[in-house]
Amino acid sequence: MISRKNMGHASPLLLILLALGFFFATYNLLTMVMQNKVANSRKVLGDGLDWFDPITAMPEEVKNAENSNMRFHVALTATDAPYSKWQCRIMYYWYKKVKDMPGSGMGGFTRVLHSGRPDNLMEEIPTFVVDPLPDGLDRGYIVLNRPWAFVQWLEKATIEEEYILMAEPDHIFIKSLPNLARGSYPAGFPFST
């Protein structure tokens, strides 16, 4: 029979580490509950989504979607490739369908075309043509065309709205989006699949 001297005894280091772990877990839980006031400010929308922001404190007037009369501009970058054109047409169709729905904060719409030349959708979709990123600057990462296109558009275009929603051609609006942004408080929307 083999017996161990320390059987049933924990090392002091292990006990200290366990105590510290429980302390930090309790502290983080209490801090989260107190700062976010989860019990009082957490609301569930009709579609089952939680309506609170765990990262940025959202002002009370922003939480009330009916309070917003401020519009945001919808902008997307696109190429002149056939697939991109098709996506833009579908997206613009759905934008027009939901833009004037109750509670919508959607304002103007711009397709920022970074091919450097007009295409056949200019008459159908509001479009602003910008220059493509110069050869070699993308270093193989072709999506750098997008921020380059936005920079040119923001420098040259006249935009009436104070806020801009940066969208992609493959986004489809299935319901109107309210403008939740105020001052320095940004806003984002969840994607659904």
For residue 155, what are the domain limits? 68-167
Please give the pLDDT value at position 39.
46
Q: Is residue 190 part of a domain?
A: no
What's the mean pLDDT in 121-132?
94
pLDDT of 61 > 70? The answer is no
pLDDT at 30: 86
- CATH number of the domain that 154 lies in? 3.40.50
pTM of the model: 0.64
Q: Is residue 173 part of a domain?
A: no
The top-scoring range by mean pLDDT among 28-32, 138-142, 160-164, 177-181 is 160-164
User: Structure tokens of 62?
Assistant: 């922003």
pLDDT of the residue at 153? 94
Are 33 and 39 within 8 A, CB to CB? yes
Q: In the chain, how many domains are there?
A: 2
157 and 106 together in one domain: yes
For the cut 50, the answer to whether the pLDDT of residue 120 exceeds it is yes
Using CA atoms in the order 53, 57, 61, 63, what is the torsion angle rounded to 10 degrees? 10
Query: pLDDT at residue 42 above 70?
Result: no
